[in-house]
Amino acid sequence: MSGIKGKVIAVTGASSGIGEATATHLAAQGARLVLGARREDRLTEVVDRITAQGGSAVGVIVDVRCREDLKRLTDAAVDRFGRLDVLVSNAGTMAVSPFDELRQDDWDAMVATHVTGLLNGIGAALPVFRRQRSGQFVNVASTAAYVVKSPLAVYAATKTAVKVLTEGLRQEAGPDLRVSLISPGYTNTEGVGKGASPEAAAAMVGLRDEIAMPPSAIASAIGYAIAQPEGIDVGEIVVRPTAQG
């Protein structure tokens, strides 16, 4: 199946920002969506808006750090739509801070959300894709996976892990599966600076307000990777504002 229309696509982190924009973009092109996040009110708003516009979407409350939750997300796709064509692993947190602040809970959250969360998605979707003999992983990393800037080291390390895991998965995927990495630069979302140390948050929000792209720019890149004909595997897309250094 090529294109987007009719594909069953699960998106994590769909309650705001890039995930929400991706869901909106894919729904407008006829995808059938299974949307995951923790905030029920925000997720319901996204599902209701898509449904009101004639799209097809269900919401599943998931914490990607929990293996069983990812299984419930992929099960929901199969139960509701009979298959799963794409898993977009987008959930993330940018609670960055200098090491000296010893915000170890935030370090743990970034590792658990970006690394364990991605692995939980692979663990849940891979058996479904193997059974179907088709499927696509679309993993959201960051330009921080390419350049480390203080105080983003922990965040950058976890996003570098996303990049490495994606490439390893691609090498093992075989001819039936596709594996894509999308790395955004500064994108105008509520997640920028959220939970970060005050100084880091101010710097990030300042840059965001000055140069950031709309989340629809990333949604389009994700849509491009998904829309390619079978047999065409988009490996890696980096999208950043032209003003980003």
If the CB atoms of residues 55 and 92 are measured against ligand NDP, the closer one turns out to be 92
Nearest to 2 by CA among 178, 222, 226: 226
If the CB atoms of residues 105 and 176 are measured against ligand NDP, the closer one turns out to be 105
- In whole angstroms, the minimum distance from the beta carbon of 135 to ligand NDP comes to 21
Could you tell me the two tokens for 12?
A: 């994590």
> One of 146, 155, 186, 224 is an active-site residue; which one?
155
- Interacting residues with ligand NDP (CB under 6 A): 12-19, 37-39, 42, 62-65, 90-94, 113, 140, 142, 184, 186-187, 189-192, 194
If the CB atoms of residues 62 and 173 are measured against ligand NDP, the closer one turns out to be 62
If the CB atoms of residues 130 and 164 are measured against ligand NDP, the closer one turns out to be 164
Task: Give residue 235's identity as a one-letter amino acid code.
Answer: G
- The CA R_g of the chain, rounded to the nearest whole Å, is 17
| DSSP labels, 92-126 | -------GGG--HHHHHHHIIIIIIHHHHHHHHHH
- In whole angstroms, the minimum distance from the beta carbon of 13 to ligand NDP comes to 3
If the CB atoms of residues 67 and 194 are measured against ligand NDP, the closer one turns out to be 194
Q: How far is CA 233 from CA 144, 179, 244, in A?
A: 23, 7, 27
Task: Give residue 81's identity as a one-letter amino acid code.
Answer: F
Active-site residue 186, yes or no? Answer: no
- In whole angstroms, the minimum distance from the beta carbon of 17 to ligand NDP comes to 2
Residue bearing tokens 């982190």: 13
What ranges make up the beta strands (E) of 126-184?
A: 135-140, 177-184
Could you tell me the two tokens for 109?
A: 């959250």
- In whole angstroms, the minimum distance from the beta carbon of 87 to ligand NDP comes to 13
- In whole angstroms, the minimum distance from the beta carbon of 165 to ligand NDP comes to 14
Q: What is the DSSP letter of 145?
A: G
- How do 8-12 and 135-140 pair as beta strands? unpaired
The residues annotated with a catalytic role in the active site are 155
